[in-house]
Chains A and B, each alone.
Chain A
Amino acid sequence: MGRVIVCDGNEAAAWGVTLARPDIVAVYPITPQSSLAEYISQFVADGILKAELIDVEGEHSVLSVLQGAALAGARTFTASCGQGLAFMFEPYFRTPPLRLPIVMSIVTRDGISPQCVWGGQQDAMTVKEAGWIHMYCENAQEILDTIIMGFKIAEHPKVMLPVNVNHDGNYLSYGVERVELPEQKDVDAFLGEKSINWHAALDPERPMGVDPLTGGAGGAGPALFVKYRKGLCKGMQNALKVIEDVHQKWAEIFGRAYAALVEEYCLEGADYAIVTIGSMSGAGKDAVDLMRDRGEKVGLIKVKTFRPFPIKAMCMALSKVKAVGVVDRSVSFGWNSGPLYQEVLSSMYFLNRRVPTVSFIGGLAGSDITIEHFKFVINITAKALAGNIPPEPIWLNEKCTLCGD
């Protein structure tokens, strides 16, 4: 067991990065990630993080620099969110098809407009289709652990995909709690040798063209393009097993077990469940315990790995209940609901069984999703089980009260 410290999620992330021994880091500050960038800079200055810190003028350069670094064989890390993530979108959506194992924290922030600097999940959810792996953390310890695991997952030869380790802005980024730092030697043994650019390199000793023009209307192009796309999909599907294996190994070495894909909480004997993602899960579990004490047969399904979406694991959980209430911390504008809600509905196709599913949207723009809110969510979901399904999504923080009306 390593040293115990008391720190916030951003500092925990910085420790996770430090322990993973990246070669090159580049960060640009943006609320609510800023203190993460500052901790990394401080750790580099203090000689704790022995990485080269590249000072860049903006997020677009951050990821461009790291792409070059990864192609040259460096283990790399960065963090961003919100408008910073938006600014880095050009290199961001290029990174997965190049199969570069970059690890990046998204300190999730809501989308502007309306002008907002507070937590939500709109930024990470907006980029979910770019091909990065997305994992959402529930607390500071999980952030630290998952960042280290992120490197192992990203660099796995059957995966070779960049990983986003996401944690909620404000509630997790600045929320302070007890965190155990694993021992460096154990992390070194866990991660093993780094494996970054065996497949594509900027290396005068092994000259190659990286990312040549592919596709077009005729010739070999389109088929080639399809081959690479299928390859990426294969990497994503392989990631499902790799993520589970890595979490298993983590539990064996460090004694902390997390549900790698989907967590089933109190589903035994449950009639219905709420589905959560990120830090809201803590209050959700507390609410489930309270309502169980009152005789409600409710459970909770927490999604940790959002991309690739763990369809089988979700179906396994859904098969145990007869109604679900899905709480999103972001909005899917085109579907008038939340993105997690849609993923749950889509999973149901593979379950061959439709159950009443309610969409709840809460915690936007730094607002709180409290135990009271969850009791309300549970009550509405119970009513949906009884046949009363709301036709519209329910917005939790509409009236500035502890629970919606």
Chain B
Amino acid sequence: MYEIRFHGRGGQGTVLASKILAKAIVEEGKFAKAIPSFGFERRGAPVAAYLRSDDKIIRQATNIYHPHCIVCLDPSLMRTVNIFEGLRNGGVWVQATKKSIDDMGPPTEVSRVGLCDAFGIALKVFKKPITNSIMLGAFVKTTGLVSMNSLFNAMESVAFRDADLKRNLEAAEQGYEECKVYDLDRKEPL
């Protein structure tokens, strides 16, 4: 079972991102279960979404406390939320940021990082800071959990609120292209 935790702010499409990825996973013949965090749903408030992926049926309907992978859709969220809480050793971190890897300071649990200036791409493609499609592209580049083709198929069946499908597909493609993936040389503690 692979456990992914999405972090973002309300209105950025964090929950929709987890739903799209769930569709892509099911598209590839696997099972997925995605649950949003339950707090105050206001634009700008921190939200999280929990997504499990597995080859067999996933029974538990619970939040994720020990993710394998963190996807953060907002560059400034780290300042107020500990997005790495419970991350497993050898974890993967996909982050929306325009900073370089040297400025990021990933914790020791992280062994692979994907960085993407999602805000920049979003403002170009959508004129709005909605980073979910872009970050899904970045996620695929960083983890390869699903193919971009499955991601595109998944996006086709979704009703996007803020922009049409074509722009979302374009955004995902750009997220994939521009995402830089780093494998960190970490000694894993026993």
Contact = CB atoms under 8 A, between A and B. Distances in A.
The answer to A–B direct touch (Cβ < 8 A) is yes
Contacts of B59: 138-139, 281-283, 285-286
A371 B38 contact: no
Contacts of A176: 18-19, 22, 32-35
Given A118-B38, A176-B22, A283 B62 contact: yes
B7 to A, nearest CB: 17
A402 B26 CA distance: 29
Nearest to B19: A176
Nearest to A170: B38
A148 B149 CA distance: 35
Nearest to A117: B38
Contacts of B154: 6
Q: Give 7 closest A-B pairs by Cβ, nearest first.
A: A282-B59, A283-B60, A176-B34, A6-B23, A171-B61, A279-B61, A175-B35
A171 B62 contact: yes
Interface string A350-374: 0000000000000000101111100
A286 B62 CA distance: 11
Contacts of B62: 171, 282-283, 368-371
B32 A6 contact: yes
A281 B26 CA distance: 23
A271 interface: no
Contacts of B33: 175-177
A372 B22 CA distance: 25
Given A283-B59, A286-B60, A366 B34 contact: no
Interface residues of A, number: 31
25 contacts: A8-B19, A119-B38, A139-B61, A171-B35, A174-B36, A175-B33, A175-B34, A175-B61, A176-B18, A176-B22, A176-B34, A176-B35, A177-B31, A177-B58, A178-B31, A178-B32, A279-B61, A283-B60, A283-B61, A283-B62, A286-B60, A368-B63, A369-B62, A371-B62, A372-B65
Contacts of B63: 368, 370
Contacts of A370: 60, 62-63, 65
Contacts, number: 72
Interface in A123-172: 138-139, 168, 170-172
A4 interface: yes
Given A4-B26, A175-B61, A371-B62, 11 more contacts: A6-B154, A174-B35, A174-B38, A175-B34, A176-B18, A176-B35, A177-B31, A282-B62, A283-B59, A285-B59, A371-B60
Contacts of B35: 170-171, 174-176
B111 to A, nearest CB: 24
A282 B32 contact: no
Nearest to A4: B26
A216 B16 CA distance: 58
Contacts of A8: 19
Nearest to A168: B61
Interface string A1-20: 00011101000000000000
A322 to B, nearest CB: 26
A372 B26 CA distance: 27
A4 B22 CA distance: 13
Q: Is the interface of A mostly helix, strand, loop or mixed?
A: mixed
A371 B66 CA distance: 12
A176 to B, nearest CB: 4
Contacts of A171: 35, 61-62
A282 B19 contact: no
B147 to A, nearest CB: 16
Nearest to A281: B59
Contacts of A4: 26
A282 B57 CA distance: 10
Interface string A266-278: 0000000000000
Contacts of B36: 174
A286 B61 CA distance: 11
B34 A177 contact: yes
Nearest to B36: A174
Contact of B61 (A6, A172, A372): A172
A282 B38 contact: no
A6 B22 contact: yes
Contacts of A279: 61
Interface string B1-37: 0000000000000010011001100100001111110
A170 B50 CA distance: 13
Given A175-B34, A176-B19, A6 B60 contact: no
Instruction: Pick from B19, B22, B61, B157 the residue with the most CB of A within 10 Å.
Output: B61
A120 to B, nearest CB: 12
Nearest to A172: B61
Contacts of B157: 5
A372 B63 CA distance: 12
A38 to B, nearest CB: 12
A366 B65 contact: no
Most buried by B among A8, A176, A370: A176
B50 to A, nearest CB: 9
Interface in A2-47: 4-6, 8
A54 B15 CA distance: 31
B62 to A, nearest CB: 5
Nearest to A287: B60
